[in-house]
């Protein structure tokens, strides 16, 4: 039973590191953006509109906009995962004192993070202009 206590202790030690809170914050930001996008996407669903389950009025989406939004959400998911992966690489290279790789991983992590937030904000702007 000592292994349970050791696992709890190691989890508490991990929560004292700033890297853990950075990753938790990134996951929280990406989850919040995804939640906002899903709420807007549900407002545009034809079946939910027909059943009167939505609380908003949106114009009907065309096939092109549906495909664009579907591809956009896939790219949002991929860029969010790439951001988390690059920050993981950054922390790993920082422990190994690999300065060039550390700087490169941090740069790519920031670039992918900006791309992910940009895709999500672009989709939110599109939905907010598309729905009342």
Task: Evaluate whether 26 touches 87 at the Cβ level (below 8 Å).
Answer: yes
Kindly state the tokens that stand for 28.
Answer: 């929280």
The span from the CA of 20 to the CA of 65, in Å, is: 38
Instruction: Quote the DSSP letter at residue 62.
Output: P
- Per DSSP, what are the bridge partners of residue 58? 131
**pLDDT value of position 51:** 62
| pLDDT tens-digit series, residues 67-110 | 888 888 899 999 999 999 999 999 999 889 888 999 999 999 99
**pLDDT value of position 56:** 60
**pLDDT value of position 112:** 96
| pLDDT tens-digit series, residues 19-71 | 888 889 999 999 999 998 888 777 776 656 566 655 566 677 778 888 888 88
Task: Evaluate whether 73 touches 123 at the Cβ level (below 8 Å).
Answer: yes
What average pLDDT score do residues 118-127 get? 90
3-state SS of 52-76? CCCCCCECCCCHHHHHHHHHHHHHH
Q: Residue with structure tokens 């670039």?
A: 111
**pLDDT value of position 45:** 66
Instruction: Quote the DSSP letter at residue 45.
Output: -
- CA terminus-to-terminus distance, the chain: 57
């Amino acid at each position: 039973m000592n292994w349970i206590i050791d696992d709890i202790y190691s989890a508490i030690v991990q929560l004292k590191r700033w890297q853990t809170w950075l990753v938790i914050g990134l996951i929280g930001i990406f989850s919040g953006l995804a939640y906002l996008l899903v709420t807007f996407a549900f407002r545009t669903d034809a079946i939910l509109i027909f059943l009167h389950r939505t609380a908003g009025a949106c114009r009907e989406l065309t096939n092109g906009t549906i495909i664009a939004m579907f591809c956009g959400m896939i790219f949002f998911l991929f860029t969010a995962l790439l951001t988390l992966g690059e920050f993981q690489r950054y922390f790993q290279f920082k422990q190994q004192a690999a300065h060039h790789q550390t700087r490169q991983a941090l740069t790519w992590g920031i670039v992918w993070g900006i791309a992910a937030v940009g895709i999500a904000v672009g989709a939110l702007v599109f939905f907010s202009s598309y729905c009342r």
